Amino acid sequence: MRVLAFALSVLVASPAGALLHADAGAETGTGFLDVSSDPPAKILIDDTDTGKVTPQPHLELKVGHHKLTLVRLDGGHNRSLGFTIAAGQTRKFTLHLAQ
């Protein structure tokens, strides 16, 4: 008896109707956050310090609703906002933080 091995590629239809390969995050229930700020700030997700500072590209997060908090490094006002991550998608934020 022979066993045939094959690879399955996940395809996603784009809004224009073309087929595209899905990001790896679509298969794992994760998506991505790209965040930058002026001035630079510490990044907290769901009230947990990520240990990262803006700008931060391609931060992997579980699918669902999250809270982003940016803590200014110079002691100015913090900024929080809610957002949703979709599987295999990237959310992008550029925030200008008040003094």
The number of residues in the chain equals 99
Total domain count, the chain: 1
Among 75, 74, 70, 77, which Cα is nearest to 98's? Answer: 77
Give residue-wise pLDDT tens across range 74-93: 888 899 999 999 999 999 99
Instruction: Look at residue 66 and tell me whether its pLDDT is greater than 80.
Output: yes
Residue 26: band (very low, low, confident or very high) from pLDDT cuts 50, 70, 90: low
Q: Is residue 2 helix, strand or coil? A: coil
Taking the C-alpha atoms of residue 28 and residue 61, their distance in angstroms, rounded to an integer, is: 10
Confidence of residue 25 (pLDDT cuts 50, 70, 90): low
- Work out the pLDDT band at 13, boundaries 50, 70, 90: very low
> 77 lies in a domain?
yes
The whole-number average pLDDT for the span 35-43 is 95
What's the domain range around 77? 29-96
Q: Is residue 89 part of a domain?
A: yes
Q: Could you tell me where the DSSP H helices lie in 1-99?
A: 24-28
Domain containing 87 — which CATH number?
Answer: 2.60.40
